Chains A and B, each alone.
Chain A
Amino acid sequence: MSTVLKISGVTKIFGGLTALDSVSFELEKGKVLGLVGPNGSGKSTLLNVLSGVYRPEGGSVTLHERDVTGLAPYLITTQGMARTFQNLQLFQGLSVGDNVMVGRTCRMGSTLVGSIFGSPFARKEEREAKEQARSLLSLVGLERFMDEPPSMLSYGQRRLLEIARALASSPSVLMLDEPCAGLSQGEADELAAFIRTVSAQGTAVIVIEHNMRFIMGLVDHIVALNFGRKIAEGDPRSIRENEDVIAAYLGRKKRHAEN
Chain B
Amino acid sequence: MDTFLQVLIAGVTMGCIYAFVALGFTLTIAAAGVVNFSYSEWVTYGGFFGVTLYSIVGLPLWAALIGTVILCVIMGYVFQWVVFRPLEGRHFLTIVTATIGISVSMGALATLVWGPYPLTLPTFFGNGTVEFGGISFFPHNVLIIVLAIALISVLQFCLTKTDIGLRLQATAQDPDAARLMGIPVRRMRTFAYCLSAGLAGLSGFLVAPLFVVTTTMGFGLMLKGLAATIVGGWGSLKGAVFGGLIIGIVEALGATYISSEYKDVIAFLIIIVVLLFRPRGLFPERIAEKL
Taking Cβ atoms with an 8 Å cutoff, the residues of A that contact B are 14, 45
How near does chain A come to B175, taking the closest CB pair, in angstroms? 20
Docked pose: A14 CA to B291 CA in angstroms: 10
Pull 3 A–B residue pairs with CB atoms less than 8 Å apart, ordered by A.
A14-B289, A14-B291, A45-B291
Mark interface residues in B250-291 (1 if CB within 8 Å of A CB, else 0). Answer: 000000000000000000000000000000000000000101
Residues of chain B within 8 A of A14, CB atoms compared: 289, 291
How near does chain A come to B188, taking the closest CB pair, in angstroms? 29
Residues of chain A within 8 A of B291, CB atoms compared: 14, 45
How near does chain B come to A46, taking the closest CB pair, in angstroms? 13
Docked pose: A48 CA to B289 CA in angstroms: 15
Docked pose: A14 CA to B290 CA in angstroms: 12
Docked pose: A15 CA to B289 CA in angstroms: 10
Docked pose: A14 CA to B288 CA in angstroms: 12
How near does chain B come to A54, taking the closest CB pair, in angstroms? 9
How near does chain B come to A7, taking the closest CB pair, in angstroms? 20
Residues of chain A within 8 A of B289, CB atoms compared: 14
Instruction: Give the total number of A-B pairs whose CB atoms are below 8 A apart.
Output: 3
How near does chain A come to B148, taking the closest CB pair, in angstroms? 37
Docked pose: A215 CA to B132 CA in angstroms: 82
How near does chain B come to A213, taking the closest CB pair, in angstroms? 28
Docked pose: A44 CA to B112 CA in angstroms: 59
How near does chain B come to A227, taking the closest CB pair, in angstroms? 16
Chain B residue with Cβ nearest A44: B291
Sort A-B residue pairs by CB-CB distance and give the 3 closest, nearest first: A14-B289, A14-B291, A45-B291
Docked pose: A5 CA to B157 CA in angstroms: 58
Docked pose: A45 CA to B291 CA in angstroms: 9
How near does chain B come to A88, taking the closest CB pair, in angstroms? 17
Docked pose: A45 CA to B289 CA in angstroms: 14
Chain B residue with Cβ nearest A48: B291
How near does chain B come to A19, taking the closest CB pair, in angstroms? 9
Docked pose: A157 CA to B62 CA in angstroms: 66
Docked pose: A213 CA to B291 CA in angstroms: 27
How near does chain A come to B106, taking the closest CB pair, in angstroms? 32
How near does chain B come to A44, taking the closest CB pair, in angstroms? 8
Docked pose: A14 CA to B289 CA in angstroms: 10
Chain A residue with Cβ nearest B289: A14
How near does chain B come to A51, taking the closest CB pair, in angstroms? 14
How near does chain A come to B91, taking the closest CB pair, in angstroms? 12
How near does chain B come to A55, taking the closest CB pair, in angstroms? 14
Chain B residue with Cβ nearest A19: B291
Chain B residue with Cβ nearest A15: B289
How near does chain B come to A86, taking the closest CB pair, in angstroms? 12
How near does chain A come to B291, taking the closest CB pair, in angstroms? 8
Residues of chain B within 8 A of A45, CB atoms compared: 291
Mark interface residues in B7-34 (1 if CB within 8 Å of A CB, else 0). Answer: 0000000000000000000000000000
How near does chain B come to A106, taking the closest CB pair, in angstroms? 26
How near does chain A come to B90, taking the closest CB pair, in angstroms? 15
How near does chain A come to B242, taking the closest CB pair, in angstroms? 26
How near does chain A come to B93, taking the closest CB pair, in angstroms? 14
Docked pose: A214 CA to B161 CA in angstroms: 54
Chain B residue with Cβ nearest A54: B291
Which residues of B, 59-102, contact A by the 8 Å Cβ criterion? none
Docked pose: A22 CA to B289 CA in angstroms: 23
Docked pose: A61 CA to B192 CA in angstroms: 49
Docked pose: A180 CA to B291 CA in angstroms: 21
Docked pose: A139 CA to B291 CA in angstroms: 33
How near does chain A come to B54, taking the closest CB pair, in angstroms? 53
How near does chain A come to B52, taking the closest CB pair, in angstroms? 47
Which residues of B, 177-208, contact A by the 8 Å Cβ criterion? none
How near does chain A come to B167, taking the closest CB pair, in angstroms? 28
How near does chain B come to A139, taking the closest CB pair, in angstroms? 32
Docked pose: A106 CA to B289 CA in angstroms: 30
Docked pose: A43 CA to B141 CA in angstroms: 60
